Structure 1
Amino acid sequence: MKVSNLLGKAKGSALLLLGTASVVVSMDANAIPVFARQTGFKCVACHVGGMFPQLTSLGRMFKLTGYTMGNRPNLDGLEVQNDYPPVAIMVQGAKQYYNNTSHGNNGNAPASSADLQVVSLFAGGKITDNFGAFMQWTGQKYSNNLQSGSQAGYGSAAIDNTEFRYADRTVTPNSDLILGAYINNRAMMSDVWNNFGAWESGWINYFNAGNAQSPTTYMMGESSQHAAVGAGGYFFKDKTWYGELAVYKSPTHGPFSMLTAGTTATAFGANPQTSLLAPSPYFRFAYNKEWGANSFEAGLHGMMSYVYGTPLGTPTAGTLTSQPGGPVSTYHDMGLDAQYQYVLDPHYFAAHARVTRELMNNAYANTPGITNWQGLTATNATDNLTETYVDATYVYEAKYGAQLSYAKVTGSNDPGLYGMTTAGSPNWASWTPNIFWQPYQNLRIGYMYTFYTQMGGVNSGSGLSFGGANFSPASFNTSMLYVGFIY
């Protein structure tokens, strides 16, 4: 793993929490973001216990019908106090704590202090009766992985999760059918069961890695980082059977390239986050059952990713590059996923499980100067990785909640990809308990702690090598006091 991915940069403070809370108290407690204003629904109608981003059955239907439920805002003659344009803002801040040294001051991880971390702007909703959008722009103060020099820790601002949907719903006495299509900039953004990516129930993560990040499959990692644009279609039959097919590709020019936020490049020496320049298919099939306050989903997911090495461009004398039309690494991901929900005030419960198996064909294994999507050069021509994720969340009265998540990775040894041990084991395991309080529907305060039971195949002792020193898995334990505010 790259050193820059192991320990991130994150700051924040309890004063920030109090300051934000005082702002919310002075505002209308019924103020809610874009989609809620459009539909007139409270947060708990579409989100489990009001805890975004977990969707209830109604929330799933809202997304599957193209964000078109409710009335389209009339932007002519808005009254400042009574009407709102279709925009919203989200602010996140935190105070992060590191276990491996006092104050977390270990080179790459600065001492924690008061700071806001992320600001997101949202727009979208109903455009026509069948067409709608979800658009997000995000500024991050600590998103750069550079750890030294004038640009160390420099932030970024770019387009984030963005999707345009067309949907048509036909309801008869014997049938309920939704047919839809979408264009978005993140594989699995279409997920309505909160099993993948940004929509996992753990809505907030350690800023700029923050803690030690485990190995991940291409599907769950790079493909979900706004570096490609996809077009797909789906159906949802009788609220029971769901099917979806899409194709993703990294555009290098044209109107869709703006959706990749500048994360792709083709010039020599460029270092794009990804080079998904060959069309890569994604699929999702699921069975859904709803009865009373309960719902259950079980599904199959997968993606075949065709990825060029980095850098991509024109070779010069004595220099190797990855070439369009040349060798392509493939990442074949397939897995199972499931969700269960119980939604009946004052009790709200949700659980998710996912297992994804990846087979890697490393086209540039042992080729100096050319790396994979993580900036690493594989030792083996082929590798495999299995990623497991499980979580459970309970919310009481849409105010008080707790969550426990478990993540595990196993796979083949490759010292080029997993360099914290000489054996190159990818085997990691971690637990993350999270408690939170939501005094208002647009304010959440919480505390989360991640502890590692395995890292690099090491369960205990000091068998991990990092930065010239030896560590145990527990050395990378990380916790965070956080606040999230959306309006």
Structure 2
Amino acid sequence: MVHPSAQAGDVFLPVTERTLMNGHGKGHIGGQFVSTHLPRRWMLLVALVWLAVMPDLALAIPAYARQTRLACVACHVGAFGPQLTQFGRQFKLLGYTMKVGDGKSLPLSAMLVESFTHTQKAQADVPAKGFGRNDNAELQQASVFLAGRLSEHIGVFAQATYSENGGLLGWDNMDLRYARAFSRGSHSGIWGISINNNPTVSDVFNTAPAWMYPYLSADLAPGAPAQPMLFGGLGGQAIGASAYMQVDGAWYVEAGGYRSLSPSFLRRVNAGYDGRVSGIAPYARAAYTWQMPAGDLSIGGFLLSLHRSLVGANFAGDAVAVPGPSDRFRDIGLDASYQYTRGDHGFTADALYVSEQQRLDATYADGGADHLHNSLQAFNLKGSYWYRNTYGVTLASFVDNGSNDLTLYGNNGSPDTRGESIEFNYNPFGEATSWHQPWANVRLGLQYTYFTRFSALVHNIDGAGRSASANNTLYFYVWLAI
């Protein structure tokens, strides 16, 4: 899955597993059109060979690169998505419409991610159908994108993604924008409207859950038992519209609402159905950015509030909303980000804290929770360093916690899961002067995640002697964007 903040320099964007998590940690592949099983790793090999031996044809693929004629470093820290530079943020806010030259171009692109996942101890059960209990290789993502300028003020980022985990092809993140620049006296800025299918997809900061670190992570390894709704709880299952404005490159405000898509539509695009939002779920975002000689500092916040019904099945076996009371979720988030770039060196730091208050009228009445009122909290912190946009290292820490509820969470009833990660990256064509920049986009990543606590426990987390460290995960990936 990819990143709607993909910008001028490339036509890809990572859609993290976190982006496609629902509010209770159950991951799914973001939306899909056709249920079809595709061949496996040969696709990545063919694409790599094609890129190496047929560079002239490769020029016809990357939509944003063809449209702007800019190197990836113009829009991305590390010359690869999704970390956006100041210029990259402006490109997205202007609706992906910036263009160089008068020629017409086809706004299409593609991405492949091949990965390998190893956990410190084999899992008790296979993580997904068709895989083993450990040491799994998979074609994690194969995506095509409609991405670029449609008219002077309208642009689009839309993605369809196939994953070997699930074997389905369907819709992923989507962001259709209308945007205009304005000037009033001594003030200038950008205003626009975004139609998208996931709160925070429209955001331009990498603290937003849709685009936050990890940009890619293992989908065949254990993860947090639960996270707030803001972490993809409506991803791919709703449609929303928001109006946004940036003033003087400093203030950014956005407000809108989301409503559920019909079960029949979601079935056609294989997006899953975790419950129906009652009415409109309001969403708001605000941030302030201080410009610095070699970077910037931003501080802001998020708000998401929704009522959601439970899911049942009709006589045909299709998932439908259950009549009756609904559960209420209210998320409030605070975030901060910092960027520094000078010469060959680049540094970014991001922090996000989200608190969710729950009133589980439907779940509690149905016997699915011990308490009517519950809460969840999530804290994420990461820092990245890049040298010549080619060599990168990232350190990150995460804490997911909340109130105890044995029936809701199982195990010992606590979602408290904590850990750290380190990742090393190599972009062989990351520099602006690299061979075939910006159309040759390859990233190698080695990521290690270790857990200091899982479901509030360090030892015997499953009642069968498994420790939190048994879930430590080594994850290697090759990411290609063309």
Tell me if both proteins adopt one fold, taking TM over 0.5 as the criterion: yes
Q: Is the 8 A contact 1:313 1:323 kept in 2?
A: no
TM-superposed CA distance for 1:89, in Å, is: 0.4
1:470–1:287 Cα change, 3 Å: same
The alignment status of 1:130 with 2:153, answered yes or no, reads yes
CA distance in 1, matches of 2:47, 2:191: 42
Which one has more relative contact order, counting CA pairs under 8 Å at least 6 apart? 2
Alignment of 1:261-280 (within 5 A): 261-263=269-271, 272-280=273-281
TM-superposed CA distance for 1:23, in Å, is: 4.6
Letter in 1 for 2:465: N
TM-superposed CA distance for 1:124, in Å, is: 2.3
Q: Give the corresponding residue for 1:287.
A: 288
CA distance in 2, matches of 1:5, 1:411: 16
TM-superposed CA distance for 1:191, in Å, is: 1.1
Q: Give the corresponding residue for 2:143.
A: 120
Q: Give the corresponding residue for 1:62.
A: 91
Q: Is the 8 A contact 1:228 1:260 kept in 2?
A: no
Alignment of 1:9-28 (within 5 A): 22-28=49-55
1:312–1:379 Cα change, 3 Å: farther
Q: Give the corresponding residue for 1:48.
A: 77
Q: Give the corresponding residue for 1:221.
A: 232
CA distance in 1, matches of 2:451, 2:23: 18
TM-superposed CA distance for 1:219, in Å, is: 1.5
Q: 3-state SS of the aligned residue for 1:334?
A: strand
1:412 aligned to which of 394, 403, 415: 403
1:34–1:345 Cα change, 3 Å: farther
Q: Is the 8 A contact 1:73 1:85 kept in 2?
A: no
Q: What is the TM-score when the length of structure 2 is the normalising length?
A: 0.82
Unaligned runs of 5+ in 1: 76-83, 144-154, 265-271, 316-320, 371-376
Q: Give the corresponding residue for 2:385.
A: 394
Q: Give the corresponding residue for 2:120.
A: 99
TM-superposed CA distance for 1:355, in Å, is: 0.3
Q: Is the 8 A contact 1:297 1:338 kept in 2?
A: yes
1:472–1:131 Cα change, 3 Å: same
Q: 3-state SS of the aligned residue for 1:364?
A: helix
1:245 aligned to which of 255, 264, 275: 255
Q: Is the 8 A contact 2:116 2:136 kept in 1?
A: yes
The alignment status of 1:348 with 2:346, answered yes or no, reads yes
1:416–1:170 Cα change, 3 Å: same
Q: Is the 8 A contact 1:16 1:93 kept in 2?
A: no
TM-superposed CA distance for 1:444, in Å, is: 0.3
Q: Give the corresponding residue for 2:200.
A: 188
Q: Give the corresponding residue for 2:11.
A: none
2:165 aligned to which of 142, 150, 158: 142
Alignment of 1:278-427 (within 5 A): 278-311=279-312, 323-324=322-323, 326-368=324-366, 377-421=368-412, 424-427=413-416
1:233–1:72 Cα change, 3 Å: farther
Q: Is the 8 A contact 1:6 1:212 kept in 2?
A: no
CA distance in 2, matches of 1:7, 1:260: 15
TM-superposed CA distance for 1:455, in Å, is: 1.2
1:177–1:314 Cα change, 3 Å: farther
Q: Give the corresponding residue for 2:427.
A: 438
Q: Is the 8 A contact 1:311 1:322 kept in 2?
A: yes
Judge which range, 191-200 or 381-390, deviates more.
191-200
Please provide the CA RMSD for this pair: 3.3
Letter in 2 for 1:187: P
CA distance in 1, matches of 2:247, 2:164: 43
CA distance in 1, matches of 2:389, 2:280: 43
Q: What is the aligned length?
A: 434
1:180–1:15 Cα change, 3 Å: closer
Q: Give the corresponding residue for 1:475.
A: 470
CA distance in 2, matches of 1:381, 1:70: 53
Letter in 2 for 1:245: A
1:211 aligned to which of 209, 213, 222: 222
Q: 3-state SS of the aligned residue for 2:64?
A: helix
CA distance in 2, matches of 1:40, 1:3: 42
Q: Give the corresponding residue for 1:484.
A: 479
Larger radius of gyration: 1
1:39 aligned to which of 49, 53, 68: 68
Q: Is the 8 A contact 1:159 1:260 kept in 2?
A: no
Q: Is the 8 A contact 2:91 2:97 kept in 1?
A: yes
TM-superposed CA distance for 1:364, in Å, is: 2.3
Q: 3-state SS of the aligned residue for 1:161?
A: strand
Deviations 1:242-300 (A, max 9, x none): 1100100112289xx57993436xxxxxxx23322421000001101112211111001
Judge which range, 388-397 or 210-219, deviates more.
210-219
Q: 3-state SS of the aligned residue for 2:65?
A: helix
CA distance in 2, matches of 1:6, 1:252: 20
CA distance in 2, matches of 1:259, 1:71: 40
TM-superposed CA distance for 1:420, in Å, is: 2.1
Letter in 1 for 2:77: V
Q: 3-state SS of the aligned residue for 2:469?
A: helix
Letter in 2 for 1:274: G
Q: 3-state SS of the aligned residue for 2:177?
A: strand
Q: Is the 8 A contact 1:278 1:307 kept in 2?
A: no
TM-superposed CA distance for 1:239, in Å, is: 0.4
1:25–1:55 Cα change, 3 Å: same
Letter in 1 for 2:72: C
1:429 aligned to which of 414, 418, 435: 418
TM-superposed CA distance for 1:392, in Å, is: 0.8
CA distance in 1, matches of 2:125, 2:305: 38
Q: 3-state SS of the aligned residue for 1:37?
A: helix
Q: Is the 8 A contact 1:92 1:119 kept in 2?
A: yes
